[in-house]
Amino acid sequence: MPSLIISGAARAALQSLDHDDITFLQNLPKAELHAHLHGSIPLSTLQRIATNYSPSPDIGAGVAATIARLQSNVVLTEISEFFQLFPAIYALIATPAALAEATRDVLHAFLTEQPPPSGFAHHPAPDCSYLELRSTPRKTTHMSREQYLLTVLSEIRAFPGRAALIVSVDRRMSEEDVEECVDLAIKLHQQGEPVVGLDLCGNPLEGNVDTFEKHFDRAREAGLGLTVHIAETKLNGHSIESFILLSWHPDRLGHATYLEEPQRDIFFLGDIPGTQVPQIPPPNGQVPDPIPHHHRTFYALWRKHVLLLSRRYQEAGFHIDSQDDDTGERAPREVVREIQALRDLAGKQYKPCVEICLTSNLLSKTVPRLEEHHIRHYLANNHPVVICTDDILPFRTTLLAEYALLLAKPPHGLGLSRDEVRKIAEMGMNARFMNRKQT
Ligand SMILES: [Zn+2]
């Protein structure tokens, strides 16, 4: 039985709630849609797997030392100590048996009744009603990528209708590796396995996502949902990459912490509730007159953006109306794609659900304080969000504790009402990839 750990702000928020509030949160149907398998393994499970581990000769001294610490049931307190575990976790979870054991405990930690973490006295309850677990299929000396996925899926199948898998591809992967992962995801999905989506993950400052688009397109055509980690750090925020990722129109966005206003305005049409999608003016930048007041900002930004793109495109020696996308040069190709994406927007409003991981953002220091969290922007604009944990192992939280951060009164939480929290939970359930309405 995995044991749950909660610390820091999430712990303080949960502690500040009374019994009724906790029961209310426990009874809400909740979907956990952004949980990485390796980052969600309970510490007690890792310690058990480490105890039974017979080291392979090729593990380095650092990994061996970490595994020895786990074997001695060391108490970890600092976030950095948890992150230092990851090389050891990959070494420990390299066989089908260890992977199955870890996956089983992660599924139980989320989906079956768990005793409350130490210091809490609430009733045992499942942490969520539905889980989309994500993982990058890792090839090891003991298993192929396909065996990896089949091992994880064999555990997920024990929770029919309540658990599913999102296949993650890592930004640092070669195109062949991405192709192999996507081929497997599509094949398993078509065979009726609970593979429901494709994710883009990995160090946000590495890799070139440009070559991945066609593979994400293939996955969408095969019926998989798409989610991407986007604008995770300040350096990703205003970059061309966020425009490229948004132009893929993923169904959900991971974090989206540093999406800038022009990106939100252009792609989400300023998040203006209830507005009709405006007719996008032609690339000469002519703004129709008169235009409704609430479209003005959008048009102004749109115009500025298209003119900027046009200039860059022309500077690179291409004509703005050329649809030639095979110039072989990175900048012009991006520009064409962005302009096409903007044109595509004429027909539809795009409101991808944003996967919000409060504790993860606070501990990773991408958000300085809860009250400055970007969830406020999305809630104020009626933009769908889902509350998720990301990695419960290093961040020492649970989905219940993340919901406590919504309901708890300041300074422990955002102080939302029960109705607001109920609505957020519903938005999360509606954003599931399983049984989603195909668009
Ligand atoms: Zn993540």
What are the pLDDT digits (tens) for 254-266?
999 998 776 676 6
Q: Is 227 helix (H, G, I), strand (E, B) or coil?
A: strand
What's the angle, vertex CA 201, arms to CA 248 and CA 62, rounded to 5?
A: 165
pLDDT, residue 59, reads 82
The band of 382, judged by pLDDT with boundaries at 50, 70 and 90, is confident
35 CA distance to ligand 1 middle (Å): 7
CATH of the domain at 232: 3.20.20.140
The band of 326, judged by pLDDT with boundaries at 50, 70 and 90, is very low
Instruction: State whether the Cα torsion 339-341-342-344 is positive or negative.
Output: positive
Structurally, the chain folds into a number of domains equal to 2
Same domain assignment for residues 100 and 194: yes
What are the pLDDT digits (tens) for 126-157?
999 999 999 999 999 999 999 999 999 999 99
Same domain assignment for residues 408 and 301: no
Instruction: State whether the Cα torsion 243-354-388-191 is positive or negative.
Output: negative
Domain finish residue from 312, 333, 349: 349
Same domain assignment for residues 255 and 277: no
Would residue 29 count as lying in a domain? yes
Domain finish residue from 292, 315, 349: 349
One-letter identity of residue 163: A
Measured CA to CA, the distance from residue 104 to residue 90 in angstroms comes to 16
229 CA distance to ligand 1 middle (Å): 7
What are the pLDDT digits (tens) for 75-112?
888 888 888 899 999 999 999 999 999 999 999 999 99
Would residue 136 count as lying in a domain? yes
132 CA distance to ligand 1 middle (Å): 12
Domain finish residue from 288, 320, 349: 349
210 CA distance to ligand 1 middle (Å): 20
83 CA distance to ligand 1 middle (Å): 14
Same domain assignment for residues 294 and 405: no
Same domain assignment for residues 31 and 178: yes
Same domain assignment for residues 182 and 304: no
pLDDT, residue 262, reads 64
Is 287 a residue whose pLDDT tops 70? Answer: no
pLDDT, residue 300, reads 55
Would residue 18 count as lying in a domain? yes
Measured CA to CA, the distance from residue 347 to residue 328 in angstroms comes to 29
80 CA distance to ligand 1 middle (Å): 17
Would residue 439 count as lying in a domain? no
Is 334 a residue whose pLDDT tops 90? Answer: no
Same domain assignment for residues 145 and 25: yes
Structure-block tokens of residue 61: 């001294």
Whole-structure pTM value: 0.85
34 CA distance to ligand 1 middle (Å): 6
Same domain assignment for residues 345 and 367: no
Would residue 55 count as lying in a domain? no
Would residue 221 count as lying in a domain? yes
Would residue 56 count as lying in a domain? no
Same domain assignment for residues 257 and 329: no
Q: Which residue has the higher pLDDT, 391 or 326?
A: 391
Same domain assignment for residues 193 and 253: yes
37 CA distance to ligand 1 middle (Å): 10
The band of 340, judged by pLDDT with boundaries at 50, 70 and 90, is low
Same domain assignment for residues 186 and 115: yes
Range of the domain at 338: 270-349
The band of 280, judged by pLDDT with boundaries at 50, 70 and 90, is very low
Would residue 47 count as lying in a domain? no
Same domain assignment for residues 278 and 225: no
Q: In what order do the strands lie in the sheet with 353-356?
A: 31-36, 130-135, 163-170, 195-201, 225-230, 252-255, 353-356, 385-387
Spatial contact of 408 and 17, defined as CB atoms under 8 Å apart? yes
pLDDT, residue 157, reads 98
Q: Which residue has the higher pLDDT, 268 or 330?
A: 268
